[in-house]
Amino acid sequence: MPPGTCDVTSADGLASLLATVLAVSERPVTLLLEELAHIEIRFEVLSRIDRELTASEHRRLNADPVTFAHHRAELLRTRGGIVAAETGLVILPQRLPACARAALADTPIPTGEILAQFGARRLDRCAWCRGSCQDSAGKDVAVESLAVLAIGDTKIGIITERISGTFCRLATERSSL
């Protein structure tokens, strides 16, 4: 088998592999998906809002009781328009270096790429294989992951990633060609 390829014959097998890789990797999901499927992934910003942290987010980020965060939702798509994943980022702007805050303002560059330039890494990443179950919104989710983002010892945010079953099926088909 050539280097950089994966011998997984089913979408569920690929989802299981992805969950395992995501659980131990600090790399952004976009790069992992591109390498796995040998396909370009584009992103689009779905929303940007400021909101209060949830109780769970407060605990994960060791944040003060009344802490506001910036939430950004993105969609990752293949060049053909297939949804590869949905991502959500809750970030505490007040914990970012000023130059990082400026770089994130209204940018067309994926958030993960910008934060990586400032040394952001994923901590305590958990990933679950969902077996292409539909979520509460009726979306086909094969893998779900969650991680705390940190720069140095400072927790700056939480990222969630939901990889679609459709993308896993596409990647499996492409690997069998």
| Confidence check: pLDDT of 52 > 60 | yes
pLDDT one-digit tens code per residue, 95-131: 998 988 888 877 777 787 788 889 999 888 899 887 6
Average pLDDT, the chain: 84
Q: Which CATH class is domain 11-172?
A: alpha beta
Domain boundaries, the chain: 11-172
70 touches 45 (CB < 8 A)? no
3 band by pLDDT with thresholds 50, 70 and 90: very low
| Confidence check: pLDDT of 135 > 60 | no
What pLDDT is recorded for position 114?
85
Report the SS3 class of residue 7: coil
Residue with tokens 């969950």, as numbered in its chain: 19
Provide the residue count of the chain.
177
145 touches 29 (CB < 8 A)? yes
